[in-house]
Chain A
């Protein structure tokens, strides 16, 4: 009796295991199917970027026979990624796209889905806890605290902070939170919950709302009072700002996005290489930047280090730095989904979301509705954005921590290492959570939230750097 282990291809599905009947072939099939799906996905992505419509069509059909949002991990991922790919192709036919493009979830739906994400995975909880811990430590002894939340929508972030403040040795401070969000109803809803909680805990609390997107935020709406200790929090939000820079870049180049994207990216690459040669000038400009001087868009990059230019982000970060916060906590997805070419983004995001989907696969049952919601409305939407959209629409511009570090440092921030105590608290939280695969790792003073050694989120803390 010989077993023939060959490279997995669909034809071998039935060849395996005669006396080792049902369980083995079933097991094998799902893994094998997984591999096959992955191969198909990659081929499909390649065809999409090569603009070969017919082959893409075939590929999508093939995949759709195997993929399903209710199947195993790879099937689910495949279904969301192919959906995104199909939309991407469709977007070149504007009319069809507009008619058939599924509407994005309503704010209420995405809030509910995000709530499920908070419940099912510890990442949000950890980020909130780390950020609150950082705030507590910096704000020791402060009587007036002002927090600016760049993505204010989750009361679960701030309620624990209220508790921590109340239990503070020196008593609770006067707390003021400025929440920024583009949806008014989220702001209202969350503010109400927070005010009630603060009332219950007898903490003096004041809320200011700013209904705006980050990229067209009017600075004058955010009022800073003298005598306040300022903290800024950004949980999975900062990356959106990178989107608006694309418009400027495209305008400069004058090339439309979808079709000649390939050449565009190479050109950009060359441009970056050229720019990195002019370091001295850029370093000088960095000084101006630190004084809040806004740079003209034409001076392009302020990065001699290979960062793609992002003037809008730079301006925003310098403005924030200019407010002199005592601490700014940034939590971001740890993956590079901001590559120029769709293929790069596809591969990166395939790996990244595979890990995320694995998290849920190990902790929740397949038919679970909450899990479906998270996968569809939180991650599915992100995937759609990363793969199918371009330009200003593509807001999920995740980047790795090293890039964020560069950006923050260029804007004048210096990193504040998150201490050992915070790490301990994070680990304790994970213990309470009860699932084995999640880990917290510390690296250079930043914390990485991992699933099985793959870092999925990074949390970092910053303050204004002094130059003495």
Chain B
């Protein structure tokens, strides 16, 4: 009895929840307690309703064509061609035409043979006589619901229905009774709400202890310190293309460099707006304030710059050194994560022997960085700018292995390339980088070889 059913996917369950189940469950399960008995039967030998999924062996199977099934008016008056759904109604109507009429009574003499109906749709489960349905209205509704076009639409939400009664039932309750969990999720059904809440209760307790999410906290921080500090015109950082600059969030190296760039270049082009983590408000503040606070005449006033710089840094320090109790200071933005540092160490190559460099190379870039830390990574590595020469670019992206473990100058240029390449790639999906970056570990028996053909072993064994 513990036969494992052949459900190959777990997708079904979503379906089941959505459909108001009028049909028995698909898996032939063991018999449980029978469903509650139907309302008091008409004065006939009561036809006991058996458990769903157990067909009547002696039932009369009726297969109607779709047209017949969907026919609304099966009984037509021959006089005026008016259609009726029930024969009784037709007979009563015939009285009005003074036609002979007879109300046919249900035959109580013989035992009524059970009738079961088939769904005319051949691909349907209920097309099979062993899975026929016992009720004509039921089969009509089933056919409409499953194989019909959904013509009825709820006006409050976007749900569509093929059966008018379903639609009516839904619109009565749509929006009337909703359960809302603390986490903000809405439920229309009580059972799903309770199930969810069992989870969510647990979650709520945990999260109440955890600090609030990073961005809101940081965003507030940003705004306040920005407002007090203002200034900072977006900088040009050696590159002709504008770059997103992570103002305030970037490590101070970046700001160092940016100021350096500013001092070198006297023009003040309006570059791409510095991107902030959260609100646009703060960006707006920034723009406005940067207009007010012109950073003076190019390189002329060093004092002024200096002043700006220290303002900036004290602003930064406000952000980063703020120890007033919130938990994320110095976390994501100003300091690089360990994975970022590992990547950087790998890129920088070794300052030591080739053995170590092979170790570095083995640093699988299976860990990926998010864009921000990558960029910081690169910008930190960036040295004096050299024009792009004909060195081959590393199209595998940031995390690829550095090919030449040569001297420092090589790595400079590599990084430079990385930066360029990275900027271009930054907008693209990370999946692209994923292939390049998913270099397997140096496990011998790992048959999935790392994708980079540029990997070269410097002769020695890895061990």
Among B260, B338, B342, the residue within 8 A (CB) of A3 is B260
Residues of B within 8 A of A339 (CB): 441-444
Choose the segment among A105-113, A133-141, A239-247 that binds chain B (4+ C-beta atoms closer than 8 Å). A133-141
Contact indicator B2/A228 (Cβ below 8 Å): yes
In angstroms, Cα B444 to Cα A268, docked, is 10
In angstroms, Cα B337 to Cα A347, docked, is 17
Does A380 count as interface, using CB distance less than 8 angstroms?
no
Among A42, A229, A305, A357, the residue within 8 A (CB) of B359 is A42
Does A292 count as interface, using CB distance less than 8 angstroms?
no
In angstroms, Cα B3 to Cα A463, docked, is 12
CB proximity of B362 to chain A, nearest CB, Å: 5
Among B194, B207, B382, B408, the residue within 8 A (CB) of A432 is B207
Q: In the complex, which residue of chain A has the Cβ closest to the Cβ of B355?
A: A46
In angstroms, Cα B10 to Cα A10, docked, is 55
Contact indicator B30/A43 (Cβ below 8 Å): no
In angstroms, Cα B442 to Cα A336, docked, is 10
Contact indicator A143/B445 (Cβ below 8 Å): no
Beyond A35-B345, A305-B447, whether A363 also contacts B356 by CB under 8 A is: no
Contact indicator B4/A326 (Cβ below 8 Å): yes
Residues of A within 8 A of B30 (CB): 141-143
Contact indicator A434/B341 (Cβ below 8 Å): no
Contact indicator B4/A463 (Cβ below 8 Å): yes
In angstroms, Cα B218 to Cα A362, docked, is 12
In angstroms, Cα B11 to Cα A418, docked, is 8
Choose the segment among B150-158, B162-170, B209-217 that binds chain A (4+ C-beta atoms closer than 8 Å). B209-217
B-contact bits for A278-312, CB 8 A (1 contact / 0 none): 00000000000000000000000000011110000
Choose the segment among A69-77, A184-192, A202-210, A389-397 that binds chain B (4+ C-beta atoms closer than 8 Å). A69-77
Does B423 count as interface, using CB distance less than 8 angstroms?
no
Does A436 count as interface, using CB distance less than 8 angstroms?
yes
Q: Size class of B's contact patch?
A: 35 or more
Contact indicator A39/B350 (Cβ below 8 Å): yes
Contact indicator A429/B331 (Cβ below 8 Å): no
Contact indicator A22/B446 (Cβ below 8 Å): no
Contact indicator B195/A164 (Cβ below 8 Å): yes
Contact indicator B194/A20 (Cβ below 8 Å): no
Of the candidates B194, B342, B411, the one having the most CB atoms from chain A within 10 angstroms of its own CB is B342
Among B1, B253, B341, B363, the residue within 8 A (CB) of A227 is B1
Residues of B within 8 A of A220 (CB): none
Q: In the complex, which residue of chain A has the Cβ closest to the Cβ of B306?
A: A19
Contact indicator B366/A351 (Cβ below 8 Å): yes
Does B161 count as interface, using CB distance less than 8 angstroms?
no
In angstroms, Cα B380 to Cα A435, docked, is 27
Contact indicator A35/B344 (Cβ below 8 Å): yes
Count of CB-CB pairs between chains A and B under 8 Å: 311
Residues of B within 8 A of A305 (CB): 447
Contact indicator B199/A129 (Cβ below 8 Å): yes
Among A136, A354, A434, the residue within 8 A (CB) of B210 is A434
Residues of B within 8 A of A361 (CB): 331, 337-338
CB proximity of B60 to chain A, nearest CB, Å: 29
Q: In the complex, which residue of chain A has the Cβ closest to the Cβ of B212?
A: A434
Beyond A140-B25, A361-B331, whether A74 also contacts B364 by CB under 8 A is: no
Beyond A19-B306, A432-B203, whether A419 also contacts B359 by CB under 8 A is: no
In angstroms, Cα B145 to Cα A286, docked, is 47
In angstroms, Cα B334 to Cα A405, docked, is 40
Among B14, B252, B446, the residue within 8 A (CB) of A24 is B252
Contact indicator A326/B2 (Cβ below 8 Å): yes
Does B400 count as interface, using CB distance less than 8 angstroms?
no
CB proximity of A426 to chain B, nearest CB, Å: 11
Residues of A within 8 A of B313 (CB): 20-21, 23-24
Residues of B within 8 A of A350 (CB): 342
Does A381 count as interface, using CB distance less than 8 angstroms?
no
Does B320 count as interface, using CB distance less than 8 angstroms?
yes
**Chain A contact residues, CB within 8 Å of chain B:** 1-3, 5-9, 16-17, 19-24, 27-28, 30-31, 34-35, 38-39, 42-43, 45-46, 49, 72-74, 77, 119-120, 129, 133-134, 136-138, 140-144, 156, 160, 163-164, 167, 169-171, 226-230, 261-262, 265-266, 268-269, 272, 305-308, 324-327, 336, 339-341, 343-344, 347-348, 350-352, 354-355, 357-358, 361-365, 400, 402, 416-422, 428-429, 431-437, 452-455, 461, 463-464, 466
A-B contact pairs, 25 of them (CB 8 A): A2-B260, A5-B380, A17-B252, A20-B255, A23-B252, A23-B320, A31-B251, A38-B341, A38-B345, A73-B338, A140-B13, A140-B25, A140-B27, A230-B2, A324-B2, A340-B463, A348-B364, A350-B342, A351-B342, A351-B364, A352-B367, A355-B339, A358-B339, A434-B207, A435-B214
3 closest A-B pairs by CB: A141-B29, A419-B10, A24-B252
